[in-house]
Amino acid sequence: MSTITRNLSTEVGFSSMQILSIVTFWLGLALLSTLSAVLYGMHEQLDMNSYRIFDLSFFYFTPACLWILLTPWICRLVHWFPISSQAWRKSLWQHLLLALALAPLTRFGALFLDFSIKYIVGMTSQSPLLIVADVYLVGLASLPKDVFNYFLVVGIYTLWRQQRVPSAPPQTQLSIRQGHQYLKLNLAEIYWVQAAGNYALIFTADRSYRTRQTLKQLETELGPAGFERVHRSLLVNAQQVESLSHWRSGEYLIQMKNKKRLTSSRTYLSNVKKIKVV
């Protein structure tokens, strides 16, 4: 592996063992492809002599070597254009364009390298450029495979990055602005949150706080902590729910532990059913 590629591999967080895994992966695929081609030739009763097997191995191992060198660079592209849950469509389009640009360079580069080596060692006397020009249809037919390889690298590396990210500790407090100061509320002390125009009112056992955050923003922030949207204007802390009683079709009366009663709407019935009353 070149010094540039090795340095880049270190930059995107690869250890020596992971670099070895990349090499083993691509060479392993090349070996399996070669064996499959040989077995297919034997099944079709073709003359699979040592020269032909050697020729087939060039066809599969040359692209594999290129992909070993390209993999760290593709991983770097994932750093520049990460596939996140917020903008995954845009990222996929960006990577599709990159894959379509890279695929012909990879495929025809591999063909040229393949026939150049054969030309140097005397396996062919024809110019590599002429041979590539003659077999360009083979190269075009193989482009989807290179696009697939690109997304295979993107997918595996994205999953690997997600596994490496340590899970964040559970949120226990909510920071809200009160005048010129920020106040931290313990989530366990919050009973419910109610929409109030462009603001939201946060209710605890003995008082309420107004915040400029919208109910939608608070739902996103507090949802993982056990808060459920039960109405278009209500977000309740499931841990502070004392009882649920069916009121009318799809609607429930929600009794909080501070004896206040709230009403859910049918639109959020599925969320109400998630609340487990202890």
Which pLDDT score is estimated for 169?
A: 74
Instruction: Write out pLDDT tens, residues 143-187.
Output: 898 999 999 999 988 888 877 766 667 788 999 988 888 899 999
What does the radius of gyration of the chain's CA atoms come to, in whole angstroms? Answer: 30
User: What pLDDT sits at residue 48?
Assistant: 83
Taking only the tens place, the pLDDT of each residue in 65-119 is: 989 999 988 988 888 888 876 667 888 899 999 999 988 888 888 888 888 888 8
Does the domain formed by 173-272 have CATH 2.60.120.260?
A: no
Average pLDDT for residues 139-144, to the nearest whole number?
A: 84
What's the pLDDT tens digit per position in 28-55? 999 999 999 899 888 888 888 888 888 8
% of the chain at pLDDT higher than 70: 92
pLDDT in tens, 213-266: 899 989 989 998 999 999 999 999 999 999 999 888 889 999 999 999 999 999
- As annotated, the residues of the chain forming the CATH 2.40.50.1020 domain(s) are 173-272
